[in-house]
Amino acid sequence: MKTIAKLSLTLLVMITLLFSCKKADSASSDSSAEDRADVESESSSSETDQQQQIQAGQITAGEWNDLSNWKFWESLNSNSEFSEMSDYWKYYLKDRISVNIKYDSENVVDIPVSLINSQNEIIWSSRTNNKGNAELWPSLKNNNQSDNQNLKIKIGNQIFKNILTYSDKKVNRLVLKKYYEENSEKKIDIAFMVDATGSMGDELEYLKEELTDVISKVRRKNQGVTVNMGAVFYRDKGEDYITKTSDFSTDIDDTVDFIKEQSAEAGGDFPEAVETALDKSINDLEWSENATSRILFLVLDAPPHYDDQIISEIHDLIATASKKGIRIIPITASGIDKETEFLMRYMAIATNGTYVFITNDSGIGNDHLEASVGDYQVEYLNKLMERLINESLK
């Protein structure tokens, strides 16, 4: 009997321990499931937070206007580190001719201005901005010292002689005897040319938010102005597309919806089809014949392919932009090199634009090249762009 009792007691203890172990395993299993659920929940929450964090007013940038800092620009180009950039891109901006045009003491806006040589050939054309100013370039492509004594400026049927270059530290202040204002309506054309290759993936989603925010604010704050918006997104030859275009429209939602649909993919090598996108932006978009301001923002992180024909095409396109009165404002993202920076600045200078560069201050995207500029103020990109647009309408 004692033996049976001992066996029964031993069996009972073993069953109890077994049950306890199964219960402990079950509890451990439940605990692991809860831990996994917490991790998955945190991960899901993190992804949701990241999506919520992509909003306007986060990317930081600086602006540098070389035309307003011409002495700095001349000094920079005499520096041995950067003096070869002009030859590299075949941009020669040493002979600058600035004009301000007035009629009856008022600045004349958006009037065509042509620079003519001694053979009466038009060598550069532009249109005045909202301040009545235009920039003309007698030797931009050929690097020849211009014969400034024989240069003339033609505005309509009026000819102006004794033209001064900006190196004389003087602006040519011209007063028209006759002027007929074709259209007094305030109007602005704003286009965005955006690199949509894979290298832009670290910033494009943020940039899309910045651009759509700028569009909304410009429309809201300029109720009395006709605002046309358009966009060109581009990649490179051999990709699933080279350019995608949304032409100008006063229905701003068309542009917003188009921008939101785009994504960054492909583009294996560094250079992209910049010249093709410029051609679409400058020649295929329907820019207004008369406007207070026309702005083309170039948002990119890579140069065009380096080829003599492509460089020549870009020269022609920039000359066309100037003739149409399109101010080019590049916005350079992470990954650009110094050659790309200077090409963008050449484009801005030649079209009376300004240079914008994204900075590291926000911590968004990969490392950004330090621009070779003087002291500048760090701003939020959306506010900076809005400021530049509003300044072009004052």
Q: pLDDT tens across 99-123, in order?
A: 999 999 999 999 999 999 988 999 9
Q: Does the residue 38 lie in any domain?
A: no
The 8 Å CB, 24+ separation contacts for 116-121 are 116/151, 116/152, 116/153, 116/154, 116/159, 117/146, 117/147, 117/150, 117/151, 118/147, 118/150, 118/151
Are 298 and 352 in the same domain?
yes
Are 245 and 201 in the same domain?
yes
Judging by beta carbons within 10 Å of its beta carbon (0-12, 13-18, 19+), is residue 343 exposed, middle or buried? buried
Q: pLDDT tens across 328-359, in order?
A: 999 999 889 999 999 999 999 999 999 999 99
Asked if pLDDT for residue 168 goes beyond 50, the answer is yes
Asked if pLDDT for residue 12 goes beyond 80, the answer is no
Domain boundary pick from 176, 202, 218:
176
Are 168 and 119 in the same domain?
yes
Are 166 and 208 in the same domain?
no
CATH number at residue 70: 3.40.50.410
As for how many domains the chain has, the answer is: 2
Q: Does the residue 115 lie in any domain?
A: yes
Which tops the pLDDT comparison, 369 or 41? 369
Q: Does the residue 47 lie in any domain?
A: no
Asked if pLDDT for residue 215 goes beyond 70, the answer is yes
Query: Scanning the structure block, which residue is given the tokens 């001694």?
Result: 118
Q: How confident is the model at residue 132 (pLDDT cuts 50, 70, 90)?
A: very high
Are 126 and 226 in the same domain?
no
CATH number at residue 151: 2.60.40
Are 338 and 260 in the same domain?
yes
Q: pLDDT tens across 237-255, in order?
A: 888 899 999 999 999 999 9
Q: pLDDT tens across 254-275, in order?
A: 999 999 999 888 655 679 999 9
Are 81 and 215 in the same domain?
yes
Are 109 and 164 in the same domain?
yes
Domain boundary pick from 125, 149, 176:
176
Are 164 and 278 in the same domain?
no
Are 258 and 129 in the same domain?
no
CB 69 within 8 A of CB 374: yes
Q: pLDDT tens across 184-207, in order?
A: 789 999 999 999 998 787 788 999
Tokens matching residue 334: 């992470």
What share of the chain in percent tops pLDDT 90? 68
**CA-to-CA distance for 74 and 169, rounded, in angstroms?**
13
Which tops the pLDDT comparison, 223 or 340? 340
CB 95 within 8 A of CB 138: yes
**CA-to-CA distance for 344 and 300, rounded, in angstroms?**
10
Average pLDDT in the chain: 86
Domain range spanning residue 162?
A: 97-176
Q: Does the residue 189 lie in any domain?
A: yes
pLDDT score, position 266 = 66
pTM listed for this prediction: 0.85
Domain boundary pick from 176, 209, 228:
176
